[in-house]
């Protein structure tokens, strides 16, 4: 018997490859159908990808325009006001982009009475918590403010972005949510699994594993209005219960309300798509790139060599807490050479806003 030609062997191997590929594809397809039939819902196919890691494949294709309403809670303190003015300036600029899906804008003012920015920034006034209830933790008013706003205001958009005064839109923001999966930024310091004993006080075992709780706060989050209407009252109640619990309050501190939102969402079975590109936080994040928001919550301190001196007041610095009683002056000095792009961009954007906002020097 003669030897088979090399061509015939290659052809035979290729045939085996095609047959094996088709067999595997058929097996996978049948497994997917079994999953769907067991759940009674074809959406099980899209859930094979964990939404905590990435968005379901089917939902990636949805690109119809879905405008979202930008909402931020604020007080009437000067410290909050100047941040809101800068934030609103950049919202208006970024909204003009074709890529942006920003809709309307509301500053939800939880001071209980109008202030002098009512004509400059679209504002909805709500009541603060009863006197003494926040115990000096002003952020406790945030969920209560959202509850009131959602109940009383007319919001035409189907989605809401919960933002904060110290956010600057650095790139036009599309609607990052998909289907029933809101989009959120993952915070490295929100660790439900490492605080399991405390979390179980508010998220009982029958609700599911602690890993179902996302490592997020309420902001930034893009979420369906219908979902937030259900979550907000729970978020408020969990926040108050956490504050009332001495151990929880001492452990979570200033991020207590963030944990409360994460728990409240899980109690309603809502999981988020985690987007690290949603936001950067100078000085730790060095580059802007294609991210969407700069969150300037941390102080930026550098020596004149451009070296970070965090924890020590630098020869050059930008820290929002340096301006508790009034707005920063126009034309802040730029950082020295060597300072990361994110910090330079932040200062330039603050300078542009303050140069163009009417009456900035009046110190509203």
Provide block-wise average pLDDT over 10 residues at a time, the chain (364 residues).
Answer: 48 46 40 38 33 49 83 97 98 94 98 97 97 92 98 98 98 96 98 97 97 98 98 98 97 98 98 98 97 98 97 97 96 98 98 97 68
Cβ burial of 117 (10 Å; 0-12, 13-18, 19+) is buried
**Domain-located, residue 107:** yes
**Domain-located, residue 34:** no
**Domain-located, residue 47:** no
pLDDT of residue 57: 52
**CATH number of the CATH domain containing 197:** 3.90.550.10
Q: Looking at 274, 309, 342, which one is the last position of a domain?
A: 274
**Domain-located, residue 15:** no
- Please say whether the beta carbons of 354 and 292 come within 8 A: no
Task: Say yes or no: 330 and 265 in one domain.
Answer: no
Domains contained in the chain, number: 2
**Domain-located, residue 40:** no
Tokens of 44: 């099980």
pLDDT of residue 61: 52
Task: Say yes or no: 234 and 145 in one domain.
Answer: yes
pLDDT of residue 361: 82
Task: Say yes or no: 71 and 203 in one domain.
Answer: yes
Task: Say yes or no: 246 and 299 in one domain.
Answer: no
Q: Looking at 240, 274, 308, which one is the last position of a domain?
A: 274
Phi–psi pair at 232, nearest 5 degrees:
-55, -50
Task: Say yes or no: 134 and 259 in one domain.
Answer: yes
Q: How far is CA 352 from the centre of its chain?
A: 24
Task: Say yes or no: 225 and 305 in one domain.
Answer: no
Task: Say yes or no: 327 and 207 in one domain.
Answer: no
Q: Looking at 220, 245, 274, which one is the last position of a domain?
A: 274
pLDDT of residue 27: 37
pLDDT of residue 64: 87
Task: Say yes or no: 80 and 100 in one domain.
Answer: yes
**Domain-located, residue 26:** no
**Domain-located, residue 72:** yes
Q: CA angle 72-74-79, nearest 5°?
A: 125
Task: Say yes or no: 72 and 158 in one domain.
Answer: yes
Task: Say yes or no: 183 and 239 in one domain.
Answer: yes
**Domain-located, residue 204:** yes
Domain of residue 135, residue span: 64-274
pLDDT of residue 363: 58
pLDDT of residue 5: 55
Global pTM reads 0.83
Task: Say yes or no: 269 and 316 in one domain.
Answer: no
Task: Say yes or no: 171 and 260 in one domain.
Answer: yes
């Amino acid at each position: 018997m003669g030897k088979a030609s090399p061509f015939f062997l290659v052809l035979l191997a290729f045939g085996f490859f095609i047959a094996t590929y088709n067999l595997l594809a058929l097996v996978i397809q049948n497994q997917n159908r079994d999953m769907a039939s067991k759940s009674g819902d074809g959406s099980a196919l899209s859930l094979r990808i964990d939404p905590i890691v990435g968005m379901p494949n089917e939902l990636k294709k949805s690109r119809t325009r879905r405008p979202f309403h930008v909402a931020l809670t604020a007080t009437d303190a000067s410290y909050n006001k100047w941040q809101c003015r800068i934030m609103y300036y950049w919202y208006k600029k970024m909204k003009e982009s074709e890529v942006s899906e920003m809709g309307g804008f509301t500053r939800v003012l939880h001071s209980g009475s109008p202030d002098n920015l009512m004509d400059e920034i679209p504002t909805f006034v709500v009541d603060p918590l009863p006197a003494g209830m926040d115990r000096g933790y002003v952020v406790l008013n945030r969920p209560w403010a959202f509850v009131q706003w959602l109940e009383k205001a007319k919001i035409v958009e189907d989605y809401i972005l919960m933002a904060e005064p110290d956010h600057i839109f650095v790139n036009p923001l599309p609607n990052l949510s998909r289907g029933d999966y809101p989009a959120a930024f993952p915070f490295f310091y929100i660790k439900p699994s490492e605080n399991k004993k405390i979390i179980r006080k508010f998220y009982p075992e029958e609700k599911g594993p602690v890993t179902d709780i996302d490592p997020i706060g309420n902001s930034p989050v893009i979420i369906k209005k219908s979902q937030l209407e259900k979550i907000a009252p729970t978020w408020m109640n969990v926040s108050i219960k956490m504050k009332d619990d001495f151990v929880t309050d001492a452990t979570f501190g200033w991020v207590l309300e963030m944990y409360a939102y994460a728990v409240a969402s899980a109690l309603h079975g809502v999981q988020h798509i985690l987007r690290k590109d949603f936001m950067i936080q100078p000085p730790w994040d060095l580059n802007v790139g294609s991210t969407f928001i700069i969150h300037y919550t941390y102080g930026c301190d550098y020596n004149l060599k451009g070296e970070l001196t965090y924890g020590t007041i630098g020869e050059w610095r930008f820290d929002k807490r340096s301006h508790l009683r009034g707005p920063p002056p126009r034309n802040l000095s730029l950082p020295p050479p060597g300072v990361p792009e994110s910090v330079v961009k932040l200062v330039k954007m603050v300078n542009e806003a303050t140069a163009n906002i009417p009456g900035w020097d009046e110190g509203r």
